[in-house]
């Protein structure tokens, strides 16, 4: 290990996506000696392919609190993080006539409002009066005011620079694996003639997205984190309206510097994180183009051909909640994964939570202690790790309503 911060707690973060770089920067800001390992370049995987839709409109109390903190930090970073910008923009959740989910929207809004979220129920006519979107065929809609969008790649790049300023050693193009007999030690592929090296740390945080299960398997730890494929595209369709999630069509859209970004295209089957198709499917492009023609006035007058269309990966868990915290009863090995499509928008808050949780655990504050910062609902050890389950849509009205 380096002596750049002699005597400090040493932490390795595995994964250079939005959660990993945020956790690394926040750990270093709290005095830890941090090394971030990324097998490719920062943000090259799921974070770099994310949509950048941001909101705090959640019905569950834990989700609402975490999202509110994430939004607070996104807005602060807009002022303080060079190279990153946040664009405020309302977020509309719309459900069509005949969709049984329409009946759940009022209760969803009530629960969001009970947590202090600025969300209101609106009828389609009022929605059309306020925004340049078509509301034909809609039964009900809700508008979340505290929302916005950003470019995910710019967030990762800017936070990576922030991490370096805080003293993080950022090791890109560097593959690592956990040593089975010590969860806080890594085998590092140094490349070239150096071969592999072994590095010991006080703690290791695995935030490797779709590769999380494979990384943890190196230490004999099983986690039910399954990657699945999602899709998005951009068009040059002029648009200055709100972000919209057409829940019945299963399509979201937001403003984009060149026009519109739209997506979903969820494939609810496990995907190979190294071998999945990174190009969007024709059926997805056709489906989204149809929804854009229905919902966006400018798209109904032009052909919303995609400027770019791609696929990325999200990760699912059996209950739809992420795994964040110590794994397998360890106070040296931690995980942050399983976002069900909501990882990027929560990254500023989750990175902060991981930093506080890791340091508290190393100081002797276990996950079961009353003063522990870890969130019980996200406890990785709530599962055995070998569960089989169906992958569920992350952006659904049903999922927003909660229990």
Same domain, 143 and 230: yes
Phi/psi class of residue 43: alpha, beta or left (left: φ > 0; alpha: ψ in -120 to 50)? left
- Which residues constitute the domain of residue 107? 87-148+226-316
135 is written with which tokens? 């509301």
Claim to verify: residue 240 and residue 295 sit in the same structural domain: yes
What is the pLDDT, as a whole number, of residue 194? 65
At a CB cut-off of 8 Å and minimum separation 6, what does 79 contact?
A: none
- Round to whole Å and give the CA distance between 48 and 52: 9
The reply to whether 267 and 172 lie within a common domain is: no
**Of the candidates 265, 285, 316, which is a domain's last residue?**
316
* pLDDT number for residue 5: 64
Provide the edge-to-edge strand list for the sheet that holds 87-88: 53-55, 147-149, 87-88
268 and 159 share a domain? Answer: no
Beta carbons within 10 angstroms of residue 116's beta carbon? 12
What pLDDT does residue 193 have?
65
pLDDT of 396 reads 57
Q: Are residues 236 and 295 in the same domain?
A: yes
pLDDT, residue 365, reads 84
Domain boundary among 284, 316, 348: 316
Tell me the pairing of strands 87-88 and 147-149. Answer: antiparallel
Say yes or no: 142 and 277 in one domain.
yes
What is the predicted pLDDT for the residue at 9? 96
Q: What is the pLDDT of residue 402?
A: 42
Helix (H) or strand (E) holding 186: strand 182-189
* pLDDT at residue 2, as a whole number: 43
pLDDT for 403: 38
Residue 297 belongs to some domain of the structure: yes
Dist. CA 196–CA 178, nearest whole Å: 12
Question: Quick one: 386 and 280 in the same domain?
Answer: no
Q: What angle do CA 251, 252, 255 make, to 5 degrees?
A: 140
pTM for the predicted model, two decimal places: 0.94
**Do residues 130 and 253 both lie within one domain?**
yes
Q: How many structural domains is the chain composed of? A: 2
pLDDT at 10: 98
Which residue among 293, 316, 339 closes a domain?
316
| Residue ranges of the chain whose pLDDT lies below 70 | 1-6, 182, 190-194, 301-304, 394-403
- Res 6: pLDDT: 64
User: Which pairs count as long-range contacts for 29-33, CB under 8 Å and 24+ apart, including other chains?
Assistant: 29/166, 29/355, 30/355, 30/356, 30/359, 31/5, 32/5, 32/8, 32/355, 32/358, 32/359, 33/1, 33/2, 33/4, 33/5, 33/8, 33/9, 33/167
Q: What is the Cα–Cα distance from 399 to 251, expressed in whole angstroms?
A: 15
């Amino acid at each position: 290990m380096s002596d750049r911060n002699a005597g400090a707690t040493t932490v390795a973060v595995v994964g250079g996506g939005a959660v990993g770089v945020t956790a690394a920067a926040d750990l270093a800001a709290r005095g830890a000696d941090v090394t971030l390992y990324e097998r490719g370049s920062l943000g090259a995987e799921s974070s770099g392919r994310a949509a950048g839709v941001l909101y705090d409109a959640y019905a569950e109390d834990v989700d609402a609190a975490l999202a509110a903190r994430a939004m607070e930090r996104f807005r602060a970073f807009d002022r303080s993080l060079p190279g990153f910008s946040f664009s405020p923009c309302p977020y509309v959740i719309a459900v069509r006539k005949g969709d049984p989910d329409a009946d759940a929207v009022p209760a969803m809004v009530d629960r969001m409002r009970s947590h202090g979220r600025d969300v209101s129920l609106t009828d389609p006519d009022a929605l059309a009066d306020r925004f340049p979107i078509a509301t034909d065929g809609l039964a009900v809609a809700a508008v979340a005011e505290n929302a916005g969008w950003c470019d995910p790649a710019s967030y990762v790049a800017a936070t990576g620079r922030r991490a370096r300023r805080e003293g993080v050693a950022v090791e890109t193009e560097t593959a690592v694996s956990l040593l089975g007999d010590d969860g806080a030690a890594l085998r590092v592929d140094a490349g070239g003639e150096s071969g592999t090296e072994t590095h010991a740390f006080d703690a290791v945080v695995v935030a490797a997205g779709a590769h999380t299960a494979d990384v943890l398997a190196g230490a004999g730890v099983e986690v039910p984190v399954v990657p699945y494929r999602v899709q998005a595209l951009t068009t040059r369709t002029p648009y200055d309206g709100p972000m919209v999630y057409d829940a019945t069509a299963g399509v979201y859209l937001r403003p984009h510097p060149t026009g519109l970004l739209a997506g979903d295209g969820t494939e609810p089957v496990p995907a190979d994180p190294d071998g999945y198709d990174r190009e969007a499917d024709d059926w997805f492009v056709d489906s989204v183009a149809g929804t854009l023609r229905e919902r966006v006035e400018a798209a109904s007058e032009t052909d919303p051909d995609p400027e770019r269309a791609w696929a990325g990966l999200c990760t699912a868990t059996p209950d739809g909640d992420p795994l964040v915290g110590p794994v397998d009863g360890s106070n040296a090995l931690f995980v942050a994964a399983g976002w069900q499509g909501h990882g990027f928008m929560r990254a500023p808050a989750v990175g902060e939570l991981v930093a506080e949780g890791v340091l508290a655990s190393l100081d002797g504050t276990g996950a079961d202690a009353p003063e522990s910062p870890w969130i019980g609902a996200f406890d990785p050890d709530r599962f055995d790790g070998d569960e089989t389950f169906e992958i569920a849509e992350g952006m659904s009205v049903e999922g927003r309503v909660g229990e």
